[in-house]
Amino acid sequence: MNEQDYPQGTKIIEIKQETPTVKTVVFQREFNFKPGQFVMVWVPGLDEVPMSLSSKNSITIKDVGETTHALHAMKPSDKIGLRGPYGNGFSLKEKNILAVGGGFGTAPLKPLFKNTNIKWIIGARNKEELLFTEEIDTLICTDDGSKGEKAFVTVLADRELATGKYDLVISCGPEIMLKNLFKVCEQHNINAEFSLERYMKCGFGICGHCAMDPTGWMVCKDGPVANSKILRELKEFGEYTRDKKGEVTSL
C-alpha cells in the first residue's frame, strides 16, 4: 500500500525503543483525549488493533504478535491509520490517587505523569522491561529484584494503602496482576479504576467481540476503564478471555 492508496493515514515522525520489547511510535496527528482512552491503529495490509494513547500523538507498543511486530518494524515517514479516540478514560474524581503500572501497562497511565495528586508504583519482570521509570518519581519493583524492590506491585500497593492516604487506585497491566491488586483494594475498601483489554474489532460497540460476562459490559464502549462496582460484577475478570474466534481461553 502506498501513500496514494491511503491519503488519510498519518505519518510516523519518530520511533523510540523503550525496552527490549516495547517501542513508542510518535505520529503527526494530535488527539484531544482523556487519559485511558485508546485509538484503533490500522497497519495497511495487515490488521487494525486497539492501542492506548501514551500522549496526544503517540502509542507505546509491546511486540506480541503479527500486527505489533509490523508496527515495531516501521520507520519514520511510514504511514498508519488511526481512528478514535474511543472509550471512557479514567474518571479521576478522587483526589488522592495511587497509580500502579505493570509492564507495558504503564503506557496508558503516562499522560498522567504531570498530575501532582498521584503517587506512582511501577513494576516489571526485570529492570530491562521497566517502562518510563526514568521520567517520573516512582516506587519501583521487579519480579527478579534486578531494580527496586524484589516484589510484585501488589505488595507495594498493600503497604501504601495501609497508610490511609488514598481514595482511588488506578492501574493497567496483566489481568492476573489487576485481579490481585483488586483484592488488595477491596481489603482496604478503596475504589479502583482499572484499564482492561479484550480482543475487539470495531472499537465503538458494534461488533460485540469485547463484551464481558455476565453483564455484556463492553471494553471498547463502556470501558476500557472499569471501576470497582463493574469489576465486582465481571465474572470473567482475571479468569478468562476470548480469542480472535470468540472462543473462551483461560488467562
Ligand X SMILES: Cc1cc2nc3c(=O)[nH]c(=O)nc-3n(C[C@H](O)[C@H](O)[C@H](O)COP(=O)(O)OP(=O)(O)OC[C@H]3O[C@@H](n4cnc5c(N)ncnc54)[C@H](O)[C@@H]3O)c2cc1C
Interface positions with ligand X (CB under 6 A): 38, 47, 49-52, 59-62, 64-68, 104, 107-108, 197-200, 219, 224
Nearer to ligand X (CB atom), residue 10 or residue 159: 10
Nearer to ligand X (CB atom), residue 59 or residue 121: 59
Residues 200, 32: Cα–Cα separation, whole Å: 22
Give the three-class secondary structure for 175: helix
User: For the chain, how far is it from start to end, CA to CA, in angstroms?
Assistant: 36
CB 78 within 8 A of CB 152: no
CB of 143 to ligand X, least distance (A): 19
What residue is closest to ligand X based on CB? 65
CB of 119 to ligand X, least distance (A): 22
CB of 70 to ligand X, least distance (A): 8
Nearer to ligand X (CB atom), residue 59 or residue 118: 59
Nearer to ligand X (CB atom), residue 55 or residue 159: 55
CB 203 within 8 A of CB 84: yes
Nearer to ligand X (CB atom), residue 159 or residue 242: 242
CB 42 within 8 A of CB 81: yes
Cα–Cα separations (whole angstroms), residue 96 to 52, 66, 92: 23, 40, 9
Residue 16 has, within 13 A of its CA and on its CB side, a CA count of 10
CB of 64 to ligand X, least distance (A): 4
CB of 124 to ligand X, least distance (A): 14
